[in-house]
């Protein structure tokens, strides 16, 4: 049973996370002396501000909890698995679920609480959507872990929309959905039959050794038992999502907030697909949250990646479609129903190239900035953007990039004339915002 302190802490967290369906961001494309309003709160713009109106329009859509949506079906499958796999002595689920926490977080939540180094590339403006220096749209649902641990929870799932500036193709979109799961255990829970075994080495050293096998503070016995439970749990989840005959394999990995760390890959459509990352939580994360006597494991899973596989959805943009021909295919009361997506129709592509010289400070140019402009102006008619040529002029010492932009509407045929208009606007905005010279 959740105690009074936990209830009070959770109430505070959920009050900060307003129900934001239907609220949109205002004035997101204004100058630095302006304010932007997101989820009913005004924020001062500064040099970090890079949230645009296109990205802001996705806030509050909550696809993962929308009725008869493929992402919601995957969410239900994951939640149901944990509800059944982990129960207390009375048969009740031990995992709490948080699926409507506000995506606006602080740098402390998104990075510092997870031990992400100050110079880590994931903090860069080229990778994240900043509201201003202090606030950003969460890059992962892991941003809420420390606060929930501090509230007294030992087992929980956080599910929600996350925002990252990334490449543009059929499998990448700047907004996607993630489930993050954390489980903590005391010595008594991990070693109920052996009082001689401990979670921590004598001296309680928290300094990392750099050895993948374990953190310096943990005993090998504790880590191996947690690893065994974690991997068994995730192998069971993979079978639940993809079928009992799915092939999988484990690979060592590295994440700032877990050690040791692993990735689980599944064999799907004759290739190995990275499904999720996981590991033993860095003990300093627990210490900073006021937890001194527990060890934990955690993992993160992308809902789109799973849904695209099990429903055979070919393009990540389809998840944002309001076309009844798409959504009607996922009307079911059974999240485990066998559903294979049937294309509503296939509209032709329009392909335009754009070449430009980078500004003199070419080392500061980021392709993600250009991708953001393309997505902001072109919206969801942009299927893919790729760098197809790069040239360095030996005399002028200038660098040229050529990008291929693939346009395709999900619900109608685009004309070359309207594509050319969008393409022209992209070129003009890139010249204005990035200082490039179109060739």
Q: In sequence order, what DSSP letters do the residues of 47-91 get, joined into one string?
A: TT----HHHHTTTT--GGGSTT-HHHHHHHHHHHHHHHH-B-TTS
| CA–CA separation, 55 and 405 (whole Å) | 19
Task: Evaluate if residue 348 carries a pLDDT over 90.
Answer: no
409 token code pair: 């509407």
d(CA 432, CA 426): 10
Which positions ≥6 away from 374 have C-beta within 8 Å? 168, 382, 385, 405, 426
CA 56-62-67 angle, 5° bins: 145
In this structure, how many other beta carbons lie within 10 angstroms of the beta carbon of residue 150? 16
Q: What pLDDT score was predicted for residue 166? A: 86
Which run of H or of E encompasses 359?
none
CA–CA separation, 294 vs 287, rounded Å?
9
In sequence order, the β-bridge partners of residue 156 are 96, 182
Task: Summarize the confidence of residues 294-312 as an average pLDDT.
Answer: 97
Mean pLDDT across the stretch 302-306?
Answer: 97
Give per-residue pLDDT as tens, 158-182.
999 999 998 888 899 999 999 999 9
Instruction: Tell which phi-psi region holds residue 166, choosing left (phi > 0), alpha (psi between -120 and 50) or beta.
Output: beta
- Match 């008594």 to its residue by tokens: 188
Q: What is the pLDDT of residue 173?
A: 93
Mean of the per-residue pLDDT values of the chain: 89
Q: Which domains does the chain have, with CATH numbers?
A: 4-21+60-103+138-310 (3.30.930.10), 350-438 (3.30.70.380)
With bands split at pLDDT 50, 70 and 90, how would you rate the model's confidence at 26?
A: low
Summarize pLDDT for 364-399 with one digit per residue, the tens: 898 999 999 999 999 989 988 999 999 999 999 899
C-alpha–C-alpha distance, residues 23 and 234, integer Å: 36
Range of 31-35, 38-42, 97-101, 358-362 with top mean pLDDT? 97-101
Of 18-22, 54-58, 168-172, 269-273, where does mean pLDDT reach its minimum? 18-22
Confidence tier at 18 by pLDDT (50, 70, 90):
very low
Q: Which of 41, 151, 156, 53 is nearest to 102 (CA)?
A: 41
Alpha-carbon span 282 to 98, nearest angstrom: 22
Q: Tell how far CA 320 is from the center of its chain.
A: 16
pLDDT surpassing 90 at residue 238 = yes
Query: For residue 363, what pLDDT band results from cuts at 50, 70 and 90?
Result: confident
Predicted model pTM: 0.82
């Amino acid at each position: 049973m959740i105690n009074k302190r936990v209830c009070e802490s959770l109430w505070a967290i959920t009050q900060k996370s307003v129900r934001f369906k239907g609220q949109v961001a205002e004035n997101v494309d204004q100058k630095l002396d302006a304010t932007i309003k997101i989820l009913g709160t005004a924020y001062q713009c500064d040099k970090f501000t890079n949230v645009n109106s296109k990205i802001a329009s996705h806030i509050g859509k909550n696809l993962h909890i929308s009725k008869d949506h493929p992402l919601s079906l995957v969410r239900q499958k994951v939640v149901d698995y944990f509800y059944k796999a982990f129960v207390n002595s009375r048969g009740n689920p031990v995992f709490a679920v948080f699926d409507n926490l506000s995506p606006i977080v602080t740098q402390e939540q998104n990075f510092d609480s997870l031990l992400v180094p100050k110079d880590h590339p994931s903090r860069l403006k080229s990778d994240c959507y900043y509201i201003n220096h202090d606030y950003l749209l969460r890059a992962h649902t892991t941003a809420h872990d420390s606060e929930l641990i501090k509230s007294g929870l030992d087992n929980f799932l956080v599910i929600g929309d996350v925002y990252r500036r990334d490449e543009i193709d059929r499998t990448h979109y700047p907004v996607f959905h993630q489930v993050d799961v954390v489980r903590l255990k005391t010595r008594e829970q991990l070693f109920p039959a052996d009082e001689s075994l401990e979670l921590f080495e004598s001296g309680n050293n928290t300094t990392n050794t750099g050895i993948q096998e374990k953190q310096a503070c943990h005993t090998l016995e504790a880590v191996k038992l947690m690893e065994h439970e974690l991997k068994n749990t995730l192998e069971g989840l993979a079978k639940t999502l993809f079928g009992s005959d799915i092939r999988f394999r484990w690979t060592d990995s590295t994440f700032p907030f877990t050690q040791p760390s692993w990735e689980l890959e599944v064999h799907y459509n004759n290739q190995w697909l990275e499904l999720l990352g996981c590991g033993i939580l860095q003990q300093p994360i627990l210490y900073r949250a006021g937890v001194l006597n527990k060890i934990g494991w955690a993992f993160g899973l992308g809902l789109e990646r799973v849904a695209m596989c099990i429903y055979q959805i070919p393009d990540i943009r389809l998840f944002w479609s309001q076309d009844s021909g798409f959504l009607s295919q996922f009307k079911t009361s059974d999240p485990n129903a066998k559903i294979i997506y049937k294309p509503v129709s296939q509209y032709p592509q329009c392909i335009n190239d754009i070449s430009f010289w980078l500004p003199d400070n070419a080392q500061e140019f980021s392709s993600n900035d250009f991708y953001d402009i393309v997505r902001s102006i072109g919206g969801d008619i942009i299927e893919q953007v790729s760098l197809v040529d790069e040239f360095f002029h030996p005399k002028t010492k200038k660098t040229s990039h050529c990008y291929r932009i693939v346009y395709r509407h999900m619900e109608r045929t685009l004309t070359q004339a309207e594509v050319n208009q969008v393409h022209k606007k992209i070129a003009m905005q890139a010249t204005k915002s990035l200082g490039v010279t179109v060739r």
